[in-house]
Chain A
Amino acid sequence: MTAAAQPSKQRWKRMQRGMTPWWLLSAPLVILGVLFVAPLLTLFLIGFQHNSLLQVGGWTLDNFRTIFQTQSYRHIAVTTAEIATATMLVQLAFGLPLAYVLAFKAGRWELPLILLLVLADELNPIVRIYAYRVVLGREGIINKALEAVGLVDPNHPISWLLFDNFAVVVVLSTSYITYTVIPIYASMKAIDHSLIEAATDLGAGWLRRAWKIILPLSAPGIFIAIILVYIPLYTEFATPTLVGGTGSYMLGQLNAELITETGDLGQGAALSALLLAASGVLAAVAYYLSRLNRLDT
């Protein structure tokens, strides 16, 4: 009997038996275990120990206590939340209509525009941040242009464009726009067109269609966008360092400073662990809400 004559299922099963999934997963799981799980666990482990330059070793809650009780840290946390929330809102304000245009109106421009969005994400982030300094600075292109047409006095250029919250929100919004638009676009793309047509036939205006049909049905995409964008915004440090000012000092910067400059690994680890735990909770809530919504509709 030739091999080909064997009942297929049996043979298929036999071929898979030698190659268990765990053999395939060995390398990926070892990599994740040593280089992802262990580092994140270390954050919690070291966060609960004395680990400053002054004192090393011994279990303690001091790191977390310091973080919660230091007035300036609380201030930084509030600033971070403000900037992250403002950025998320700006992105939704532009991202929702943009996703709508891509999904329903763009026609043959749809794919080229998505390509451009992907491209925007693949350009080097530090280069992108630097490019905005050239545009927004006191000596930047916007000020020069306004001086040229006489709207701005060359001796008093507009200074709030750069090294302030404005620049941080602008640059962060552009950094994450791909991750805001694409999930929303994907879920809008999945909306059954007949629903929209039916609503139009029944006399619903565009606002009503957007509010009653498109927005609720694209909610899963919106929640994914929020998970992908809102959480990382709390950990940003390159952008506020390079285009922010003293008033836009964020938690990510504090974290970096504790590790690389102050050398207080205990507090740095504790802060990272807190951010990690908070983002886990936020992700779980967003996931739960998006599931809930899908069941409703």
Chain B
Amino acid sequence: MPARVRLQRMLPSIASVALVAFVMLVLFGPIVLLAVLSFDKATIIALDWQGFTTQWYREMWANTNLRAAVLNSVVVAAIVTVISMVAGTMAAFAITRFRFHGRAAVAGLVGAPLVVPWLMIGVGAAIFFFHYNVPGLFPLSLHSVTAVQVACTFPLVTAVVAARLARFEGVQEEAAIDLGASRLQVLRHIILPQLTPALGAAAIFAFSWSFNNFEIDFFVGGYDQTFPVWVYSELRRAPNLPIINASSTLISFVQVLMVVVAWRLLRGHDDEDGSSVVDALP
């Protein structure tokens, strides 16, 4: 084959690889750069490596504001995840296992927080709590953040779990009941084993959504700082670069691990084409 023809045949795949490589570079290059810089002795951004150090990680650990902010984020995310799992799974069962009047409307309402931008929910909630002086939620604090985040996060759990529930419709449950299983036995032996991977993945995504939810934290948090709000306010004031590099690297590393685990859970018991993963995407 002449070289020109061979090149022409290969051109599309070269273009594909180039496109994918470029997008991935733009998406992850900056984060990888942060990780590298977090171990560099230099306090300003520089191309030449000034030497390896873990100093920024020690300073990060010594920073009480940062530690408090991360702890706030983790506690809020943990509580939000637990409540969202319960409420989200309840809604998923109601929507997939029952036919009733208003089902479409309910499904639409539960899905709405996934589409309405968090800015409006945050602004609305802040004004609502303030204006009606809602007890427990005003003055604004981590309590109000947790409450509003539940409303933003449990629909995600509903989406993931409902996608899974829809895949094994009621056939097996009916069969089990025909064979004399009680309602609890059906739940324990039929539904839970099939649902566990989706539940695990949903929990991880819920935690991640809550942890990352800057808009709600910002508008509804009052004087309480979470990790995203801490980074935001640090960046607006004197930029404390190395310590932000270090904390961002650490947080990103944990998030990478979590996403990989969620991915394995969703794929583990599943078909090979991964369509369930796509179904379950937020």
- List A residues at the B interface (Cβ < 8 Å): 2-4, 8, 11-12, 15-16, 19-22, 24-25, 27-29, 31-32, 34-40, 42-43, 46, 51, 94, 97-98, 101, 105-106, 109-111, 113-128, 130-135, 137, 139-141, 144-145, 148, 170, 174, 177, 182, 185-186, 189, 206, 227-228, 231-232, 234-238, 241-242, 252, 255-256, 259-260, 265, 268-269, 272, 275-276, 279, 283
Instruction: Give min CB distance, A186 to chain B, whole Å.
Output: 5
Selected from A8, A114, A117, the residue in CB contact (under 8 A) with B274 is: A114
* Chain B hits for A119, CB < 8 A: 255-256, 259
Q: Among B55-63, B125-133, B189-197, which stretch is in contact with chain A?
A: B125-133
Instruction: Give min CB distance, A145 to chain B, whole Å.
Output: 6
Whether B212 is near chain A, meaning CB under 8 Å from some CB there, is: yes
Most A CB within 10 A of own CB, among B120, B178, B179: B120
Selected from B45, B178, B282, the residue in CB contact (under 8 A) with A8 is: B178
* Chain B hits for A39, CB < 8 A: 121, 124-125, 127-128, 148
Query: B252 touching A123 by the CB < 8 A rule?
Result: yes
Contacts A126-B228, A182-B281; is A25 near B214 (CB within 8 Å)? no
Selected from B110, B117, B227, B267, the residue in CB contact (under 8 A) with A32 is: B110
Selected from B27, B177, B227, B278, the residue in CB contact (under 8 A) with A182 is: B278
Contacts A42-B124, A43-B124; is A4 near B180 (CB within 8 Å)? yes
> In chain B, residues 180-208, which have Cβ atoms closer than 8 Å to a Cβ of chain A?
180, 183, 205, 208
Selected from A114, A116, A228, the residue in CB contact (under 8 A) with B278 is: A114
Interface of B, helix, strand, loop or mixed by DSSP:
helix
Query: B16 touching A131 by the CB < 8 A rule?
Result: no
Q: Fill in one digit per residue for B207-240: 1 if any A CB lies within 8 Å of its CB, else 0.
A: 0100110110011000000011001100110000
Whether B268 is near chain A, meaning CB under 8 Å from some CB there, is: no
Query: A8 touching B127 by the CB < 8 A rule?
Result: no
Selected from B20, B33, B211, B232, the residue in CB contact (under 8 A) with A141 is: B33
Contacts A105-B16, A114-B274, A122-B255; is A35 near B125 (CB within 8 Å)? yes
Selected from A31, A127, A182, A275, the residue in CB contact (under 8 A) with B151 is: A31
Whether B112 is near chain A, meaning CB under 8 Å from some CB there, is: yes
CA of A27 to CA of B251 in the docked complex: distance in angstroms?
32
Query: A227 touching B115 by the CB < 8 A rule?
Result: yes
Instruction: Give min CB distance, B72 to chain A, whole Å.
Output: 14
CA of A147 to CA of B70 in the docked complex: distance in angstroms?
37
Contacts A28-B110, A137-B45; is A259 near B131 (CB within 8 Å)? no
